[in-house]
Amino acid sequence: MNIVISERESGKAYSKKIEDPMLFLNKKIGDNISLSSIGLNGYEAKITGGSDLQGFPMHPTITGTGRKKIYSFKGVGFRQKTKGERRRKSVRGNTVSKETAQLNLIVTKKGSDSLDKLVGKAEKVEKVSAKEELIKQSMESVGNVDLAMDAKKIKGKVKG
């Protein structure tokens, strides 16, 4: 299960994958939960929503764990394209089950450490295209990397 933890003060959201979702099973939207069992000591959060394995959102007014079709004109899982539009939409109930793939939480009580340290964001690796990688490898084998960088900047054919 993927958990998205949001902080109102900083406006940041952190994603964390957990293997054992037993802490969240049978909890409803609006319940407060202590996050110390997933490694976030001192933090408490409120469940604000989520979605199931097929992508259907949890709706706060539907009780239970099942999926239902509702006739909706606004709210979760529906965006009006024209004024007054109504449509039947499939939504999931407000209770967390084994079918829940993502759970959205908002922090209500902070711990001693920051979420940046506890969850930790992965550093972005600079992407290099396959062509640039091959040019770099061939020029390193020849021994002149600066010449490779200059050759990369040249556009079109060079007559000479």
Question: Over the stretch 66-86, which tens digit does the pLDDT of each residue have?
Answer: 999 998 888 887 888 899 899
Contact by Cβ (8 Å): 100, 51: yes
What per-residue confidence (pLDDT) applies to 122?
Answer: 47
Number of domains forming the structure of the chain: 2
Q: Which domain holds residue 141?
A: 123-153
Task: Judge whether 158 lies within some domain.
Answer: no
Tens digit of each residue's pLDDT (9 = 90 or more) over 93-141: 999 999 999 999 999 998 888 887 777 664 455 777 888 888 778 777 7
The mean pLDDT value for 35-51 works out to 90
Provide the token pair at 6.
């949001």
User: Does residue 159 lie within any of the structural domains?
Assistant: no
The three-class DSSP label of residue 32 is strand
pTM of the model: 0.69
Look at residue 157 and tell me whether its pLDDT is greater than 90: no
Q: Which amino acid is at 114?
A: S
Q: Hey, which bits of the chain come out as E strands?
A: 2-6, 13-17, 32-34, 44-52, 67-72, 87-92, 100-109
Question: What span, in angstroms and rounded, lies between the C-alpha atoms of 141 and 111?
Answer: 53
